[in-house]
Amino acid sequence: MKSLSSTAFALFGAALIAISFGLARFAFGLFVPPIRAELDLTPDLIGIIGALPLISFLLATLVAPFIADRLGARYSAVLSGGFGAGGLALISLAFDALSLGAGVFACGICTGLMMPALTAAMQAMVKRSLHGRVSAVMNAGTSIGVAVAVPAVLFLADAWRLAYLSFAVLAGVGVVAAWTILPSVSRVTPTNAAPPPPISVLQWSRLFRLSLFAFAMGFVSAAYWIFAPDLAVALGGLPPNATGWLWLAVGIAGLGGAVVADLADRNNPPITQALMLMMLSASLALLAASPGRLVLAAFSALVFGLAYMSLTGLYLMTGIRLLPGRLSMGPVLPFMAVALGQATGSPVVGLLVNAFGYADAFAMFAAIGILVAVLSPLYPRYIDHPASHEVEGETGLQAAFDHQLQGADGKPLPPLPVTLTMPDQGEDRKEAEPPPA
């Protein structure tokens, strides 16, 4: 294992997230037009195939904490990267719907396993006082990966097999890097940390509401992720390589999502949820109204990227806040709900496209998004900490992480060197201060 500064680890984690989320999961929609044309696939079949990586993501997410705990960060990340490289290579060789579906299914497993592996590594290699910033940088990797796919479609729109083969090579490089850099430790827990309190009825109620909103957002966003490039080509008459500018806009705008999520934590999460859902719906409507005008289509992608990444960041923040001390559950539930919504929405939008056409199908999904935005006053607020434990100005992702570990007195543990237990080694150790960022 190589020693990395906190900054270097954050950038390395962002690179792995860019491969597993950006290239293995979200780049698929960008290549739907040439894939659909070459393999002669109908929109409803594309919708079903687009749901497969989301289903496998859900399945992998269910077992990912157990795998990370048993195998450790290094082997979990290598396993994730192996599924990614294999899935991307299989897509490049796909000759029918079945082989294509197998490839995207493997890519979904890669996505589900990667973040828990990196979280376990972060706990061992990064000071707790920096976990919020490091997590924000790693989460930005999704937008980076989406943007990285753009040159491939700009220059290889008619050679999508070569593009996916190049993605597979990048995933293979990521596997080697993970083996070299990440530690084998499974997770790191201070021995003086108290176990998390039982989940209350109020927490379950708010988690349920959070999951419903996350599901609805995933359902609506599936139309854009899977079918936006195909809409621009089939309905707007744009050349396939021009759709790369849409994903570049999504990637660039998505980088602002972490900032919006932090602002929501300082102000009003329900209002942020409503505003971002309205923007998400507007992006679908704008693309359906002007698919042949590249500037307007790219602007819709900017709006979509900012709204989608902001909402996922908001759901992450809310999940962490609602379940202090349960990082393997709090942020996982809303992300599973988003994926389930996308897995449900993808075949539905495919059926609607077949029945009514692209414009009407996107308009219907935009209307659903607006309806959910109207219900945003029901968005769950955080579980308040006792007033004596609050520090004025404690907002944002780092503040959420600071409340994850609490002592026997119920107060957050300070991020100082403490005695640690590393379960996969079965012995107590002192926390080694990571190199300064």
Which has the higher per-residue pLDDT, 246 or 321? 246
Separation between Cα atoms, residue 131 and residue 123, nearest integer Å: 8
N- to C-terminal Cα separation, the chain: 18
Question: What are the residue boundaries of the structural domains of the chain, listed by start?
Answer: 1-190+415-437, 193-384+402-406
Average pLDDT over residues 169-177: 95
Helix (H, G, I), strand (E, B) or coil at 95: coil
Helix (H, G, I), strand (E, B) or coil at 401: helix
Separation between Cα atoms, residue 9 and residue 12, nearest integer Å: 5
Smallest CA-to-CA distance from 276 within 300, 321, 306 is with 306
Q: Residue 186's pLDDT band (boundaries 50, 70, 90)?
A: low
- Angle of CA points 182, 179, 18, to nearest 5°: 75
Same fold, 1-190+415-437 and 193-384+402-406: yes
Separation between Cα atoms, residue 62 and residue 83, nearest integer Å: 16
> In this predicted model, what pLDDT tens digit does every residue of 8-28 receive, in sequence order?
998 999 999 999 998 998 888
pLDDT > 80? residue 436: no
CB 276 within 8 A of CB 314: yes
Average pLDDT over residues 106-134: 86
Q: Residue 319's pLDDT band (boundaries 50, 70, 90)?
A: confident
CA separation, residue 209 to residues 80, 203, 275, 314, 412 (Å): 31, 10, 18, 14, 26
Separation between Cα atoms, residue 352 and residue 279, nearest integer Å: 22
The average confidence (pLDDT) of the chain is 82
- Angle of CA points 336, 117, 149, to nearest 5°: 70
CB 309 within 8 A of CB 143: yes
User: Domain 193-384+402-406: which topology?
Assistant: Growth Hormone; Chain: A; (1.20.1250)
Around Cβ 202, how many Cβ atoms within 10 Å?
A: 11
CB 318 within 8 A of CB 308: no
pLDDT > 50? residue 425: no
Smallest CA-to-CA distance from 261 within 161, 140, 116, 170 is with 140
Around Cβ 238, how many Cβ atoms within 10 Å?
A: 21
Q: What is the pLDDT of residue 392?
A: 39
Average pLDDT over residues 392-420: 52
> In this predicted model, what pLDDT tens digit does every residue of 124-160 receive, in sequence order?
888 877 777 788 788 888 888 888 888 877 777 678 8
Separation between Cα atoms, residue 78 and residue 113, nearest integer Å: 10
Q: What is the pLDDT of residue 95?
A: 92
Burial class (CB within 10 angstroms; exposed 0-12, middle 13-18, buried 19+) of 382: middle
Domain 1-190+415-437 has CATH 1.20.1250.20: yes
Copy the structure tokens of residue 56: 């496998």
Smallest CA-to-CA distance from 43 within 234, 219, 217 is with 234
Report the share of the chain in percent with pLDDT over 70.
81
Q: What is the pLDDT of residue 176?
A: 96
Q: What is the pLDDT of residue 75?
A: 93
Q: Residue 82's pLDDT band (boundaries 50, 70, 90)?
A: very high
pLDDT > 50? residue 391: no
What's 406's DSSP letter?
B
Burial class (CB within 10 angstroms; exposed 0-12, middle 13-18, buried 19+) of 123: buried
